Amino acid sequence: MIKLIVGLGNPGQQYEKTRHNAGFLFVDYLADLAGVRWVGASQFHGEIAECNISGSKVILLKPATFMNKSGMSVGKLLRYYKFSAEDMLVVHDELELSEGAVKLKRDGGHAGHNGLRDIIAHIDSRDFYRLRIGIGRPVVGKNVADYVLSKLSSDGQLNLASLFDALSKKLDALIVGDLTAINDLQISR
């Protein structure tokens, strides 16, 4: 059962609505859906929101440490609440999935994602759920860092909105880590 959902992203207005902030965008969507507000939590180096999802209390976290240093925030919160890694879902952008696609997995490596790499290093575990939000790859020759830090196009924003809406109808499956129900998700626009 998921007790903590961590959205990965970078704090600051210049990073809002960028591809790299797909995790922040999703947890913001969940907070809005649940009608809860974000509260600064300096002890966790981030913002948290507590909500009820599918009858379960869930804490949402947006680390304020920048993407590549997310592990400090996540580790502190896990230890404070005495959650295990298996109780956590990390939501992040994924270059290897097309824009608007989603994949839920449990366990595994960081696949080059620096936010995941830092979380794994701080909690000394790979045994957590990851919701990978597809952002696609840049065209050949375009710098990957520039691509992930660029703003989503209006079509990209619509794709994410459609994806988040479809995911909202499967929150029961998401909270229990039902890989099949989430990975069979199809968005239509």
Please give the Cα distance from 57 to 134 (Å, whole number). 27
Please give the Cα distance from 22 to 7 (Å, whole number). 8
Is 20 known to be catalytic? yes
Task: Report residue 40: phi and psi, to 5°.
Answer: -65, 130
Catalytic residue among 20, 45, 92, 113: 20
Dihedral-angle region of residue 162 (phi above 0 means left; psi in -120 to 50 means alpha; beta otherwise): alpha
70 and 64 Cβ atoms separated by less than 8 Å: no
Active site residue ranges: 20
